[in-house]
């Protein structure tokens, strides 16, 4: 199997990770922005089983794109007029990640626009052009991958995400399954169980370091002859849980069978580096 790597630049990665963590801890102040992610798109967001571009990556992408769009209105036009050599955040980020760009000032010259007459519309036009040429989209995708790489280790954050998503699924599909979606559901509000792909099992196994994420029992097979690995939905399908890598944890047989009394509990214990 070909190894896959992410070049981690850590350009504001923890800033985005912190914002996403805060949103999932208390979504209420951000409800309108979150709605923009899935509204009128619930089927695509919630139903496909185990997409490679998983729900947390999708959410990171939406949040980061929203923050970059907000940055346009927060950019002080007067400051750029008074300091024509000032770099936009977008230019700094693109250059930091190795994109070949001429920059905003050069773009203004090429489009016969004067810095002294700069308006917020000019900034919006420049951002839109970076979208159209693909560089801004590529930047957002990379920032989303980096942020996911940091957050995927946090099982409690993953649980919060999947509790939130299960509420959306139950609200939209809990009473009745729309015509044509029957193949996705066992009954209203409960998605069909599907085989967990091997790439999901491998990723979760290494994330949880081959240990039961509840009792820390070794499930690697290195010190036990018959490891009893169970790949468990943190939010059960019966409670609106999704078939997504972010909703899967590694448990031993005993913890998995006793989990029914605490369907939404995940461990906050992680092995120290040393």
Specify the pLDDT at position 47.
97
By the 10 Å C-beta count (0-12 exposed, 13-18 middle, 19+ buried), 272 is classed as exposed
What ranges make up the beta strands (E) of the chain?
A: 185-187, 190-191, 229-233, 248-252
Distant-in-sequence, close-in-space partners of 203: CB < 8 Å, separation ≥ 6: 245
Say which residue the tokens 């991958």 belong to.
Answer: 145
Specify the pLDDT at position 264.
61
Closest CA to 24 of 158, 147, 207: 158
Distance CA 229, CA 209 (A): 12
Q: State pLDDT tens for residues 69-83.
A: 888 877 778 888 888
Specify the pLDDT at position 223.
65
Cite the DSSP H helix spans in 26-153.
Answer: 31-38, 42-46, 55-74, 77-82, 89-96, 104-110, 120-132, 135-151
Per the confidence metrics, is the pTM higher than 0.95?
A: no
Answer whether 252's CB lies under 8 Å from 219's CB: yes
Q: State pLDDT tens for residues 131-141.
A: 999 999 999 99
Domain boundaries, the chain: 1-151
Q: Which residues pair with 252 in a beta bridge?
A: 229
For 181, the token pair is 């979606």
Question: The dihedral of CA 83, 88, 94, 99: what is its sign?
Answer: negative
Specify the pLDDT at position 51.
97
Specify the pLDDT at position 31.
85
């Amino acid at each position: 199997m070909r190894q896959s790597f992410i070049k981690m630049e850590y350009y504001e990665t923890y800033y985005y990770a912190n914002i996403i963590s805060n949103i999932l801890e208390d979504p209420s102040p951000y409800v309108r922005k979150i709605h923009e992610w899935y509204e009128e798109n619930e089927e695509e967001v919630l139903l496909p089983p185990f997409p490679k571009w998983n729900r947390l990556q999708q959410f990171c992408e939406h949040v980061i794109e929203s923050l970059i769009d907000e940055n346009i209105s927060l950019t002080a036009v007067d400051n750029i007029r008074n300091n024509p050599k000032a770099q936009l955040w977008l230019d700094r980020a693109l250059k930091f990640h190795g994109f070949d760009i001429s920059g905003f000032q050069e773009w203004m010259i090429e489009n016969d626009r004067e810095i002294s007459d700069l308006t917020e519309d000019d900034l919006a036009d420049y951002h839109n052009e970076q979208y159209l040429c693909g560089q801004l989209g590529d930047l957002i995708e990379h920032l989303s991958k980096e942020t996911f790489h940091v957050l995927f280790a946090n099982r409690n954050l993953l649980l919060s995400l999947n509790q939130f998503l299960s509420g959306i699924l139950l609200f939209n599909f809990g009473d009745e399954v729309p015509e044509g979606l029957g193949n996705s559901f066992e009954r209203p509000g409960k998605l069909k169980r599907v085989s967990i792909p091997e790439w999901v099992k491998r990723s979760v196994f290494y994330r949880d370091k081959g240990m039961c994420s509840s009792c820390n029992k070794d499930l690697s097979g290195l010190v036990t002859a018959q490891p009893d690995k169970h790949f468990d939905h943190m939010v059960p399908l019966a409670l609106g849980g999704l078939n997504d890598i972010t909703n899967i944890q590694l448990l031993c047989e005993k913890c998995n069978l006793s989990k029914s009394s605490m369907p939404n509990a995940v461990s906050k214990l992680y092995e120290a580096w040393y």
